[in-house]
């Protein structure tokens, strides 16, 4: 494990802190959100450069993994979110709705980089992404009706930027880059220079995206620390329970270490940017719902960084295949 890999958790925590501090300056607070998407774009472009297309195609055929992850994400997780909300947020219905919205929307971007950090099966995680996206769009209104008693539709336009720009375009550009460089007989610079550069820079782009994200919301977070404390326990319990569940199921199903990592992270990471965009549109008169979704990443990102390191320790200890 390289020095950078050993301190990745601290780098991410430092990025969160820097973002919150920088967010106290009005100019940075106003414009920082414009940089989130570009940094995520370059992060995922570099990640997709290193994934062979045939591995992603292979991932689409892994029905055992797909069925397991979808069951956890769309059957078990909504029930868990509702139960934790009932235990800890019943006196705060708006936060309860925000908590449910956060937990029932699986991540469609940064979980890939944490899968890479933990040496998981990134191709398999990429293959399940479109299904996660479609199902969360279709099922979120149903979850809100069943668990919160409100019926809201999800505008597809809300998802266009986060999916097309952050996922589809870097994926196409990465594979177009490989195709063109191979056609030009530039395979050596591709393999020895371009891919290693972006592989090393992924943590940099992730950290910059985190700084921009927290700079854009830093003022709100510091002004509402009481809400952070209200959400801390249910959010942490969600991650602990689902992490243990993912590890247990991975062992029961005899999944490899790489596939178990993918299962853990695709069932842990949440889609807070998309859920936030939906909340702002669907609940303009309920700022606490949006605030719950702003606070989510403050807890989630350090947790995912720690989970990645725990998974690497498990790999070292148990020597998974």
Contact present, 82 and 100 (Cβ < 8 Å):
yes
Structural contact between residues 84 and 149, judged by C-beta atoms closer than 8 angstroms: no
| Bridge partners, 106 (sequence order) | 270
* DSSP assigned state of 21: H
Domain boundaries defined on the chain: 3-318
What are the CA-CA distances from residue 224 to residues 23, 50, 99, 234, 286 (Å)?
14, 41, 16, 17, 15
Strand partners, 270: 106
Tens of pLDDT, residue by residue over 16-30, are 899 999 999 999 988
- pLDDT tens for residues 243-288? 999 999 999 999 999 999 999 999 999 987 767 767 766 677 777 8
CATH 1.20.1530.20 fits 3-318, yes or no: yes
pLDDT bin (cut points 50, 70, 90) of residue 157 is low
Structure tokens belonging to residue 199: 């592989």
Q: What is the rounded distance in angstroms from the CA atom of residue 307 to the CA atom of residue 304?
A: 5
Alpha-helix runs per DSSP H in 7-89:
8-22, 26-31, 36-49, 53-60, 63-71, 77-88
Measure the CA–CA gap between 41 and 201, rounded to whole angstroms: 12
Q: How is residue 56 written in tokens?
A: 């992603």
Q: pLDDT tens-digit profile of 38-70?
A: 888 898 888 888 877 777 777 778 889 999 999
């Amino acid at each position: 494990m390289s020095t950078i890999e050993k301190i990745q958790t601290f780098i991410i925590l430092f990025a969160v802190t820097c973002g919150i501090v920088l967010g106290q300056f009005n100019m940075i607070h106003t414009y920082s959100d414009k940089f989130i998407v570009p940094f995520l774009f370059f992060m995922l472009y570099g990640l997709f450069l290193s994934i062979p297309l045939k591995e992603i195609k292979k991932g689409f055929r892994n029905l055992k993994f797909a069925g397991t992850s979808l069951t956890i994400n769309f059957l078990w997780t909504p029930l868990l979110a509702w139960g934790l909300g009932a235990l800890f947020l019943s006196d705060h219905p708006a936060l309860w709705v925000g908590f449910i919205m956060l937990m029932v929307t699986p991540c469609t971007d940064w979980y890939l980089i944490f899968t890479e950090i933990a040496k998981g099966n990134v191709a398999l995680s990429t293959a399940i992404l479109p299904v996660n996206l479609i199902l969360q769009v279709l099922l979120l209104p149903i979850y809100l009706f069943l668990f919160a008693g409100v019926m809201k539709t999800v505008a597809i336009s809300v998802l266009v930027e986060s999916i097309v720009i952050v996922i589809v375009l870097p994926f196409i550009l990465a594979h177009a880059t490989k195709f063109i460089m191979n056609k030009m007989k530039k395979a050596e610079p591709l393999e020895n220079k371009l891919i290693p550069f972006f592989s090393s820079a992924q943590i940099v782009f992730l950290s910059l995206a985190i700084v921009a994200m927290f700079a854009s919301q830093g003022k709100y977070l510091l002004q509402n620390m009481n809400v952070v404390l209200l959400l801390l326990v249910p959010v942490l319990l969600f991650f602990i329970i689902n992490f243990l569940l993912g590890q247990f199921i991975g062992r029961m199903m005899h999944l490899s270490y790489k596939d178990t990592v993918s299962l853990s992270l695709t069932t842990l990471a949440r889609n807070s940017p998309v859920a936030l965009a939906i909340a702002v549109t669907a609940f303009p008169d309920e700022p606490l719902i949006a605030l719950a979704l702003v606070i989510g990443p403050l807890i989630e990102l350090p947790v995912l960084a720690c989970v990645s390191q725990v998974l690497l320790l498990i790999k070292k200890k148990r020597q998974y295949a």
